[in-house]
Chains A and B, each alone.
Chain A
């Protein structure tokens, strides 16, 4: 691998994807090109939603630590992290909402919906804000997202059972969240570094897809 091979974060391309697809031509091809790009974006969002649902279901079937209720790997957080970096904030929030609602309809119930919604909303809001205003890397943002997800769920639990001793449990979940956040952050970072260009194709120039690809000497 060349010395110039970028070992840093995936390039922040969210603005590129968030903006309207670039259509240099004005004319008969303009509308067609634009609708093709929108279709690609819809397909990407569908794919990411499906990924989150499948990963969420699979990990719900794996009891990670039975003595610590509610502990999960949070693999779907890796997909959301991907969206935080590669899609616009509104699309990311939309993905989270669709995932939470579909999870509740397919696998859960209104009770699980409240937990997922609180965790997901706090997590996505935190990750979007930290990405915009703090110079954290993908692992740092992932850890923050995981810990905030746990915090959102703990707030609901506190409201339901009304016992302040749950703070101890929240501290345990925070430590677990640090571990799972590092794991999902590394996974999301590797996926983005590999240059998975689906989001890129939905509105970016090919030159911007070469994230992490070693340059020739």
Chain B
């Protein structure tokens, strides 16, 4: 059932995928600005976008729910806290975004979706950013 070429193909695919898994976190850290947050600023930020267009970048300073309403019943609700965020609810059909769990500073380098929660049906991407990574953006 297995041929030598099968094993070679599996090996090549695993090497490429493994390489991406190893390199992308390193590249992310390398590209991250090293300046820390100024006194009084939040250490973590939420940036969310719809269809690739950034809508807002918000400091995570308190527990609250953020409703992203695109009209026509297209609604996502994110629960924010000073340590991270998760998708509380969504009106999308598959609810995959709700099952993606919480993103925190501790787990964002080991999650399959890294620092993101993605609701593909609603084209919503929410990202957790350390203060140093917000860079020149105006939060």
Counted as pairs of residues, one from A and one from B, with CB atoms less than 8 Å apart, the total is: 128
A61 CB–B CB distance under 8 Å: no
In Å, the complex CA distance between A175 and B5 comes to 18
Interface size on B, residues (CB 8 A): 40
Interface size on A, residues (CB 8 A): 44
A178 CB–B CB distance under 8 Å: yes
**Majority DSSP secondary structure for residues of B touching A:** mixed
With A137-B1, A160-B51, A161-B51 as known contacts, state yes or no: A144 contacts B9, CB within 8 Å: yes
Residues of B within 8 A of A109 (CB): 93
A189 to chain B, nearest CB (A): 5
**Is B2 a contact of A111 with CB atoms below 8 Å?**
no
15 contacts between A and B (CB under 8 A): A66-B99, A69-B94, A111-B120, A137-B6, A139-B1, A139-B2, A143-B13, A157-B118, A161-B51, A165-B113, A165-B114, A165-B115, A169-B114, A171-B24, A175-B18
B residues with a Cβ closer than 8 A to A are 1-3, 5-6, 9-10, 13-14, 16-18, 20-21, 24-25, 49, 51-53, 93-94, 96-97, 99-101, 111-116, 118, 120-121, 123-125, 127
A residues with a Cβ closer than 8 A to B are 7, 9, 63, 66-70, 108-109, 111-112, 134-140, 143-144, 147, 157, 160-163, 165-172, 174-175, 178, 182, 185-186, 189-190, 193
